[in-house]
A and B are shown apart, each in its own frame.
Chain A
Amino acid sequence: MVLQDLMPDMNGCSRCSNCKWVPHLQVKSWRFAKVCPSVDRYNFHAYSGGGKMIIGNSVLSDRSTLNDTIAQIVYRCQLCGACQVSCQVYRDDIDLADVLLSLRSSCVEQGFVLPEHLDMIESMKREDNTMYMKKADRGKWADGLDLTDINQSKAEVLFHAGCRYSYDEDLRSIVRGQAMLLKETGLDIGIAGMDEACCGGRAFEIGYQGEMKNYAEDMASRVKASGAHTLVTPCSDCYYTFKYLYPKNGLDLGVKVLHITEYVDQLIKSGRMRPTKEIPLKVTYHDPCHLGRRGEIYKSGWYGTNKLERPIRFKQTGKMGIFDPPRDIIKAIPGIELREMERIREYSWCCGAGGGVLECEPDFAAWTAKERLEEARATGAQALVTACPWCERVFKDALAETGDTSLKVMDVMELVSISQGGTSYGVE
């Protein structure tokens, strides 16, 4: 979608600034009332969701032009989607997240790109990953696990690790544990090994929208060749790409897509997986943006132009994201006490890593993560649990920076693994 097509959305902005706040009935304190990391960190209205719509409007109205300063503002945003949720509490006719994506695309078209993003795109083109790593090393995370190689034989379930889990050695034990958890349940799990490639979602998000198509087609052919009926991924970014970006752009994987928390939740509820070992731990759960509000399936089927006429069921409110499965898993583990933060579910605060921010503005990513860690500490939790490798990465780094040892950062599946008898994660 080009920016010009979104002019009615931009013209609809009333500048109410609700995009800066948690939906107001969910504001529970002075301290944790804000929802947009970008404007909260940099303050000028231009950094807010509404402010970026005004930038787009201003540019298309020939009042101003894109330049390096404005591009920096556009890219200082995790595309977490919180602004859209708060906007759409009141508005049916504004798709704010689409404007943010299209604005980035305009920046790229006009040559206002960030060197870090160019490096990422180069890495994707050359090595099929966002991590500047070698394609040949992509499957190493699964060495010794004896998982089915879909290049050799068919599998019922295709496990797509994603770029971060494939290469981040610090998180390797988590992804290995996830795969083994599924395998030990007796499931026929297959992986693509070194032939797994990036989903392409990150390229789309940083403005190189055309790049995603190639990755989607590659992904679809791999899924088809695997014979799998279900695609499971532990990466929230990949999940969002499969569930939202692909169908929105007319791309179909032809397979059921589940995040690992959805899949394991089903396995627990059906009795196939039984976390029985008690874990005496107070935890809080962080909703990854791309699994939560942005993980809401693309609501296709409306082709009109006047969004005031668009039936509500086609509005991306974020409410149908994946919020309950990870919580239900946590609640199913004996001994764990779940203490909710103030900003949760579709109005959750972002971890800071998304939208290319971790790569080009690491300080901003860390600032955003620290804000969330403070909110987690306020609950009295001993561990911040989440379900996305990008969140885990930025939280662990931010925690290390602060030197705080009172809080751990964990993946939901680590808890399941421990409760099933695993001890490989170092949690007592």
Chain B
Amino acid sequence: MVSNDVYRALEDALGPENVSQELGVIDGYSWQPALNLGYDAWCPRPEAVVMPQTTEEVQAVVRVCNRFGLKFKAFSTGWASWGSPGGPGVIQIDLRRMNRIIEIDEKNMFAVVEPYVCGSQMQSEAMKRGLNTHLIGAGPNCSQLANATSGWGYGWTGLYTGFSGRNPMGVEWVLPDGEILKIGAPGTNAQWFSGDGPGPSLRGIMRGWGGAQGGLGIFTKCAIKLYSWPGDAREPHLKGTLTDIKGEVPATHKIYFLFSPSYERFADLAYAIGNAEIGYIHCKGAVGAMFGLLAPRAMKKLMANPVVRAITKAFQHMTLFALACHTPREFAYQEKVLRRILDQTESVMIDSSVLPFHAAFWWGTHRSIFPAMAFRPGGDFLTSMGSNEAYDCSVKNAIESEKLKREYIDKGVFFEDMADCTWGGIYEGTSNWGHMEQIGMFDRRGKQSQQGRFDYLDDTMKLTIDKSLAFGLSCLGFDLWKVFGPRMFNYHLWQSKIKQAFDPNNLADASFYIPPYDQVCADAADGAEKDKDAMPASPAP
């Protein structure tokens, strides 16, 4: 609870209907089971919740926080624990009322959005104009602004649209002291078309690899890239909501299941696709997980059958691949190239257009609606590994994590999905880098998963270090910069210097980012003294 003075100041800034400290209301911001690294799904309860509607109102809230020395944490659509306070004494800023698509510039292929524009809204408006947008794998319920500015994510169409960090252009940013900073072209009032100039280019500082998770202030507007949509400039007419989707798929669009005989050939296939610059979707598929998502109850029974297990494992090295072309001629060319690559990599394909669920599969992947089906088998899931690196390294991530996950499936921690790596692909064609992510599905309400999933995450972290698998999602846990920073060129010291420079009063809740430099130094000295083994000593700052 905040003091009466604080509450009145917040009400004066936003109106009483946009401020609350009612326990039942603020608990709506404490419950964050998704990717929560605590035993309890409840995060620290915010002291109050506020809902600004404009940049000026965000600025006013931040200034109130500065005046009274309160921390703040903003979120957009608000899924996952890093959107909530990491400790006590935090004002939660729910950006839900900032929900406009301010501009769609068709010619220059970008859109300017506020925080509460979700992926499906943006994609539907873009498609009407013959354009498309990058939707992260978490799904179209997520904020387009947040995924471009503040987090790490990759979507089905990453081959075509890049990943989160590739998509922001100009950004409007309310700094932790309440000042407004515009980076990229808007920094010199030159519209929004560039993230790097003619105004200040601070994209690296703004989001780095994985985003600051709210630890550097609040992004209130962001221009995001749009991409050519190789289809009709309209929304498709579809019936149904998920696997029951029925509708037309353009003749120049098709999705394939590609099967390789080994992970080595799987990687060769990915490199060849990237080098050939074909395709719209490239993503690791997993037969076990796919059946688990589509028919979780049947899957449990089927997995008890050793023959079914053997067959499923034989199709382990699966790639989901899609073509989306502007013309029949382009489509014929790309499919011809694909067939040649399959021959070269000893791989085979199933053309899903001959299957009854082709429309559901095509449109479902296009809008990224399937990943959240990972809730179906157990009601919850976690993710791990996933360094974005040269694809050979990503494949190594997959191989190592599959062995580890197998152990945890056998212990009953995770749902049986044959332990296959389930998510990830190559980015941006010839760049030939990408990531592979290991997802574990579990029932949070079950006792076996309570401790087991944390043990698993610890083990993936150790695996990352022992096998040199590069910095990935398993390195993003609470305070893990203490472990990985000293091993990776002391990135944490640079990061904490940025934090200190941008947030001198340390009010932007950085629980999921990094503390200011002075605090990192103090913690390092203290930690080294207390436990030399657990906290590798950092070089002198």
Which residues of A are interface residues toward B (Cβ below 8 A)?
8, 11-18, 21, 23-30, 33, 43-46, 48, 51, 54-55, 57-59, 63-67, 69-70, 73, 85, 89-93, 308-309, 311-312, 319, 346-347
Contacts and interface: CB of A to CB of B under 8 A. Distances in A.
Nearest to A58: B27
A29 B27 contact: no
B185 to A, nearest CB: 24
Contacts of A18: 139, 141, 372
| Ranked 4 nearest A-B pairs via Cβ | A45-B28, A64-B23, A27-B120, A23-B241
A311 to B, nearest CB: 7
A11 B379 CA distance: 10
A421 B124 CA distance: 43
Contacts of B297: 309, 311-312
B455 to A, nearest CB: 22
B325 interface: no
Interface string B115-129: 001111110110010
A67 B77 CA distance: 27
A27 B121 contact: yes
B242 A89 contact: yes
Contacts of B242: 23, 25, 89-90
B2 interface: no
Contact of B23 (A13, A14, A58, A89): A58
Contacts of A25: 120, 238, 240-242, 245, 363-364, 367, 369
Given A24-B120, A24-B369, A43 B41 contact: no
Contact of B97 (A16, A43, A55, A63): A43
Given A24-B367, A70-B25, 16 more contacts: A11-B445, A17-B77, A18-B141, A23-B241, A27-B124, A29-B121, A29-B124, A43-B96, A46-B24, A48-B28, A64-B27, A89-B242, A90-B376, A91-B376, A308-B379, A319-B241
Contacts of B141: 16-18, 21, 24
Of A23, A67, A319, the most chain B CB neighbours within 10 A belong to A23
Given A25-B241, A57-B31, A14 B25 contact: no
Counting chain A CB atoms within 10 Å of each CB, the highest count among B22, B27, B139 belongs to: B27
Nearest to B247: A25
B140 interface: yes
Contacts of A30: 101, 117, 121-122, 124-125
Residue of B18, B140, B375 most packed against chain A (CB within 10 A): B375
Most chain A beta-carbon contacts within 10 A, residue among B97, B141, B369, B380? B141
A59 B24 contact: yes
B20 interface: yes
Interface centre among B124, B296, B444 (most CB of A within 10 A): B124
B34 interface: yes
Contacts of B244: 319
A51 B28 contact: yes
A70 B22 contact: yes
A15 B121 contact: no
A26 B238 contact: yes
B502 to A, nearest CB: 28
Contacts of B444: 11-12
A59 B22 CA distance: 13
A14 B140 contact: no
Contacts of A45: 25, 28-29, 78, 94
18 contacts: A12-B445, A14-B380, A16-B79, A16-B139, A17-B79, A24-B119, A24-B120, A24-B367, A28-B235, A43-B18, A44-B51, A45-B25, A46-B28, A58-B24, A58-B27, A70-B22, A90-B373, A91-B379
Contacts of B25: 44-46, 69-70, 73
A54 B373 contact: no
Contacts of B60: none
A91 B241 contact: no
Nearest to A16: B79
Interface residues of B, number: 62
Contacts of B33: 13-15
A340 to B, nearest CB: 9
Contact of A73 (B24, B42, B119, B240): B24
A15 B79 contact: yes
Contacts, number: 162
B443 interface: yes
A15 B31 contact: yes
A127 B220 CA distance: 55
Given A12-B445, A16-B79, A54 B31 contact: yes
B241 A33 contact: no
A69 B22 contact: yes
Nearest to B381: A14
B445 A8 contact: yes
A89 B373 CA distance: 8
Contacts of A58: 23-24, 27, 31
Contacts of A21: 118, 120, 141
B96 A347 contact: no
B32 interface: yes
B10 interface: no
Contact of B379 (A12, A27, A311): A12
Nearest to A91: B375
B198 interface: no
Contact of B41 (A11, A24, A29): A11
Nearest to B378: A308
Contacts of A43: 18, 51, 94, 96-97
B423 to A, nearest CB: 16
A64 B240 CA distance: 39
Contacts of A309: 297
A4 to B, nearest CB: 15
A132 B11 CA distance: 40
Contacts of B238: 25-26
Nearest to B41: A11
A178 to B, nearest CB: 30
Contacts of B79: 14-17
Nearest to A30: B121
B34 A15 contact: yes
Contacts of B30: 54
A12 to B, nearest CB: 5
Contact of A28 (B49, B124, B376): B124
A67 B118 CA distance: 33
A46 B23 CA distance: 10
B24 A64 contact: yes
Interface string B1-42: 000000000000000001010111101111111100000011
B31 A70 contact: no
Nearest to A57: B31
A15 to B, nearest CB: 6
B76 to A, nearest CB: 10
Nearest to B51: A43
B251 to A, nearest CB: 21
A15 B31 CA distance: 7
Interface string B439-465: 000011100000000000000000000
A15 B375 contact: no
A308 B22 CA distance: 33
A16 B364 contact: no
Contacts of B34: 14-16
A344 to B, nearest CB: 10
Given A12-B379, A29-B124, A43-B18, A63 B445 contact: no
A280 B380 CA distance: 52
A93 B118 CA distance: 25
A338 to B, nearest CB: 14
A55 B373 CA distance: 25
Interface string B346-384: 000000000000000001100101001101111110000
Contacts of B139: 16, 18, 24
B372 A90 contact: yes
B56 to A, nearest CB: 18
Contacts of B122: 30
Q: Which of B24, B77, B78, B443 has the most CB of A within 10 A?
A: B24
A427 B498 CA distance: 69
